[in-house]
Amino acid sequence: MRVLTYNVLAEQYADGAARYERIAEGLREFDADVVALQEVPLERVADLVGEGYVLAPHPNTDDDGIGACLASRYPVRAVHIVDLHVTARSRSFAWAGAVVAELDTPLGPVVVVNHKPNWAFGLERERELQAVATARFVERYRVPVVLLGDLDATPDAASIRFLTGKQSLEGVSTCFQDAWTALHGQADGFTFTPENPLVRNGDMPLDPGRRIDYVLVRSGAHGPALEVVDCRRAFDRPRRGRWCSDHFGVVADFRRPARAPGSTDWLRGLRPA
């Protein structure tokens, strides 16, 4: 199963028509089974991802129709919305929210989440509460859960530390494996960086570079339910002479592990020396 998350930058910026043409080309080449898009005009999602996808948009947009959407090639059993307007300050961002889709995949039932918290630097408290709200919602599932998105927080931020099992919040704990870290360790993997002129010339020109876009897979007691076999940045260089967005995307491939975490069947064949 291949998944991809990408903040595509609203079409009204940086010659969006030309950028979106290149994004559509790239998405077809990456050929992901599940795509999570952020900062996208909802009426443009079908054009970007192409035919054969079921769309699960976030219910709210800003005044320009910008929001987020999950697209799946796999049959969708059900879609749920988690309202992430958790404080008065969080309501300043209209399309904060999480879409939770129950999918039938070749790996069996999988739940995929497009999680979009508040973005502003000073709102980590909101991102903490939003991460907790989504984690609480998906606790009901006993199948693999994959969480995608532009999470607007670095790996050392409390909201990401919470999601990756390094700390608790609000009396809650969970643990998702970060697909990037699983394969690349501490390599920075920046997805928002001034190496990209759309960052350097955008509204955050002093940003030194951060990894804020993620693919996460939930762990059980003995580790993640799915094995990460590949994880890399997407759209991290110009395409036909043009940068596609101020973010880079993240694409990851999953498979069922050869031996399920927690299984001790292999021990039964061992005998004392």
Report pLDDT digits (tens) over 110-136: 999 999 999 999 999 999 999 999 999
Mean pLDDT of 164-176: 98
Report pLDDT digits (tens) over 47-68: 999 999 999 999 999 999 999 9
Q: Residue 72 corresponds to which amino acid? A: S
For residue 226, what are the CA distances in angstroms to 1, 159, 178? Answer: 10, 22, 12
Mean pLDDT of the chain: 96
Per-residue confidence (pLDDT) for residue 273, from 0 to 100:
55
Residue 268 has pLDDT above 70, yes or no: no
Query: For residue 53, what are its two tokens?
Result: 């996808």
Report pLDDT digits (tens) over 56-105: 999 999 999 999 999 999 999 999 999 999 999 999 999 999 999 999 99
Share of the chain above pLDDT 70, in %: 96
Per-residue confidence (pLDDT) for residue 260, from 0 to 100:
78
Query: For residue 195, what are its two tokens?
Result: 């190496």
Residue 28 has pLDDT above 80, yes or no: yes
The length of the chain is 273
DSSP lists the bridge partners of residue 99 as 81, 114
Look at residue 142 and give its three-state secondary structure: coil
- Whose CA is closest to 45, among 13, 3, 8? 8
Choose between 263 and 8: higher pLDDT.
8
Domain ranges of the chain: 2-259
Mean pLDDT of 17-32: 98
Per-residue confidence (pLDDT) for residue 245, from 0 to 100:
98
CA 193 to chain centre: 18
Q: Please name the residue ranges forming H helices in the chain.
A: 16-30, 45-49, 124-138, 158-163, 179-184, 197-200
Per-residue confidence (pLDDT) for residue 261, from 0 to 100:
81
Residue 48: CB atoms within 10 A of its CB come to: 23
Residue 266 has pLDDT above 80, yes or no: no
DSSP lists the bridge partners of residue 223 as 220
- Whose CA is closest to 11, among 246, 172, 218, 249? 246
Domain covering 2-259 in this structure, CATH number:
3.60.10.10
Q: How far apart are CA 137 and CA 241, in angstroms?
A: 42
Answer whether 212's CB lies under 8 Å from 7's CB. Answer: no
Query: For residue 105, what are its two tokens?
Result: 């995949």
pLDDT band at 271 (very low <50, low <70, confident <90, very high): low
Q: Residue 147 corresponds to which amino acid? A: L
